[in-house]
Amino acid sequence: MLYEVLNRFRLIGLCNHAAVVIHSSIINYRSDDVQMAMSLPFQWFIPDSTIRELQLLTRSQLFGNRAQNLLNLIHTTMAAGKGRIIDRNVEDLYQLDGVPAATRKDFYDGGLVFIFGDMGKMAEFIEKTPVDFDIHVLFNPHWKCSDVSGCEIWSLPVAKRMLANLPWKQANVLENTVKVSNPIKNIKVIRAYDKNQNEVARFSGSTLEKVKNMAGGEGVIYTSPSMPGRLLKFYRNNLPKGNRLKKIRAICGLPLPHVAFPQELLYDESGNLIGIAMNPCPGRSLADVKAMGWQGYDPDAVIRNLALVLLELHALHIMVGDLAEQNVLVDQNNQVYLVDTDSFQLQNYPSGGVRSEYCHRDVKLNELNSALRQPQHEDFAWSVLLFHIVCWENPVMQKRAVDDDRQLCWQNFSFPLEAADIQNNRVNEELFEIWKQQPMVLRKQFSEEFHFRRSHPIGSWLKALEL
């Protein structure tokens, strides 16, 4: 599909001397398709962040071979003089709060074609990049890159008009849930079904054993002798229905070993989804590991492993939504596990709740169940999580004091630090000393994120952290 669309664009000659810029989500296209596309007479520009993300993805059980094949193709293309790595992120073209977009002319004086393998990232790029007739986008109106219908390369102004008419932008609203009417212990027959809708277990609620010190806002965790090796999460107050139910069914059984996706769905006698069965995840929460002073743990390894899991999820068109240190578990080998997966955002199914300290200021808290979050919102939550790891503290607690009893969040709080600060009377002195000890590149990226000037992808953070 890539080859056909790029070759048609070349033959029509709509953009002379065009070069192609690829995002790491191109991993969703077939390797042979990318190989054929790279044989065409274009220059190929690969952002440094894309290279770093692909390098990390080579460790993935699910995407490792494709990532390695892409890196091999990039190396071959560069050796042939048809490509080079650029010290730019795709996000550098965004115009955020009056900061001038990075010019293209400093690395190329012709037109550019941007290719994404994720519709969410493509849409964010189209919406936020200022109008430029020399910028083109391979417009794919489908989540699946194997679906070629309607795919075409459009100039950015045309792509903006096309995007406005896409039905996917209308989020599948997560409706209000059904109230729980019967205590779990009183349910006589609970049926467990796998992702193929095969019944794999049947048991009574009276056989359940509650797991101590393990519960969330939405559910309570049990075990059952009828489902050995599984943790059973039963919804506490509300049962999913409609689009919320469809989303949970869609993520059931997804093949990522370090993400606690539902493995089976649990139904009562009336056919209501009352819970999910998951593989147990070893380890402590990231919050607990940090509170222990990282004793016995390697923060760099934890960051790398967490970045890999996030990249794998993004390649599956999934955003965590409620990315927080409470939802990240770390084992003794520094491997991370993500839990609370039924609140993930999948394609155009919204994620739902989010903790305020990780919530980008543009996310409207009254629309969490009805609006899709953008990749930059996930990048923001990732940067807050990194701040917790690197600087040991919540970034919204950097002020020395506040003049009222508000719960600080990004909607009512201004980050008081800048990269070049050497003196600042508005912040806690101890925390400011930690800030000053960080490399300038880290302080710059944190301040750009927290002042909402620029979004940084995972690959950019890997570079800044020298991982």
Q: Which of 445, 460, 465, 464 is nearest to 23 (CA)?
A: 460
pLDDT per position as a tens digit, 330-364: 999 999 999 988 889 998 888 877 888 898 998 88
What confidence score (pLDDT) does residue 465 get? 95
Tell me: pLDDT of 407 over 50: yes
Q: Yes or no: say if 28 and 172 are a contact pair by the CB < 8 Å rule.
A: no
* Average of per-residue pLDDT values in the chain: 86
Residue 46 DSSP label: E
Element (H, E) at 225: none
Total residues belonging to the chain? 467
**Which amino acid belongs to residue 433?**
E
User: Rounded to whole angstroms, how far apart are CA atoms 220 and 184?
Assistant: 10
Residues 274, 291, single domain; the answer is: no
Confidence of residue 85 (pLDDT cuts 50, 70, 90): very high
Please give the average per-residue pLDDT across 381-399, as a whole number.
Answer: 86
What confidence score (pLDDT) does residue 98 get? 44
What confidence score (pLDDT) does residue 354 get? 82
Residues 36, 164, single domain; the answer is: yes
Q: Where are the alpha helices (DSSP H) in 203-321?
A: 242-251, 286-291, 299-315
Q: Report residue 203 as tokens.
A: 């048991």
Q: Yes or no: say if 202 and 226 are a contact pair by the CB < 8 Å rule.
A: yes
CATH at residue 317: 1.10.510.10
Is residue 188 classed exposed, middle or buried when 0-12, 13-18 and 19+ CB atoms within 10 A define those classes?
exposed
Confidence of residue 184 (pLDDT cuts 50, 70, 90): confident
Could you say which of 228, 245, 278 is where a domain stops? 278
Residue 46 pairs in a beta bridge with 85
Residues 164, 199, single domain; the answer is: no
Please give the average per-residue pLDDT across 9-32, as a whole number.
Answer: 85
Could you say which of 257, 278, 299 is where a domain stops? 278
User: Rounded to whole angstroms, how far apart are CA atoms 301 and 119?
Assistant: 30
CATH at residue 17: 3.40.50
- Confidence (pTM): 0.92
Domain count, the chain: 3
**Which amino acid belongs to residue 442?**
L
Could you say which of 134, 169, 204 is where a domain stops? 169
Three-state SS at 6: helix
Say which residue the tokens 């209501």 belong to: 272
End-to-end, the C-alpha distance of the chain in Å comes to 34
Tell me: pLDDT of 260 over 70: yes
Please give the average per-residue pLDDT across 91-114, as a whole number.
Answer: 64
User: Rounded to whole angstroms, how far apart are CA atoms 125 and 98?
Assistant: 17
Choice between 408 and 164, residue whose per-residue pLDDT is larger:
164
Choice between 249 and 397, residue whose per-residue pLDDT is larger:
249
pLDDT per position as a tens digit, 292-322: 999 999 999 999 999 999 999 999 999 998 8
Please give the average per-residue pLDDT across 376-380, as a whole number.
Answer: 94
Three-state SS at 139: strand
Phi, psi of 14, deg, nearest 5: -70, -20
Q: Which of 10, 4, 6, 9 is nearest to 22 (CA)?
A: 6
User: Rounded to whole angstroms, how far apart are CA atoms 310 and 298?
Assistant: 19
Q: Yes or no: say if 266 and 360 are a contact pair by the CB < 8 Å rule.
A: no
Q: Which of 17, 51, 27, 12 is nearest to 2 (CA)?
A: 27
Q: Report residue 277 as tokens.
A: 């069965």
Residues 132, 227, single domain; the answer is: no
Residues 81, 205, single domain; the answer is: no
Residues 153, 185, single domain; the answer is: no
Residues 165, 212, single domain; the answer is: no
Residues 123, 268, single domain; the answer is: no
User: Rounded to whole angstroms, how far apart are CA atoms 461 and 352?
Assistant: 26
Please give the average per-residue pLDDT across 24-36, as a whole number.
Answer: 93
Q: Which of 374, 360, 454 is nearest to 100 (CA)?
A: 454
Element (H, E) at 19: strand 19-22
Residues 197, 86, single domain; the answer is: no
Dihedral (C-alpha) 239, 242, 244, 250: value to the nearest 10 degrees?
120
DSSP string covering 343-398, please? G-EETTB------GGG--TTS-GGGTTTSPPPHHHHHHHHHHHHHHHHHSS-GGG-
User: Rounded to whole angstroms, how far apart are CA atoms 146 and 385?
Assistant: 34
Residues 247, 396, single domain; the answer is: no
Domain limits at 243? 178-278
Residue 201 DSSP label: E
Three-state SS at 275: strand
Residues 336, 383, single domain; the answer is: yes
Task: Please report, for residues 68, 272, 352, 357, the alpha-carbon distance to residue 218 in angstroms, rounded to integers and kept in the order given.
Answer: 40, 16, 12, 20
Please give the average per-residue pLDDT across 371-397, as a whole number.
Answer: 90
Residue 209 pairs in a beta bridge with 223
Residues 254, 397, single domain; the answer is: no
Q: Report residue 286 as tokens.
A: 């990231």
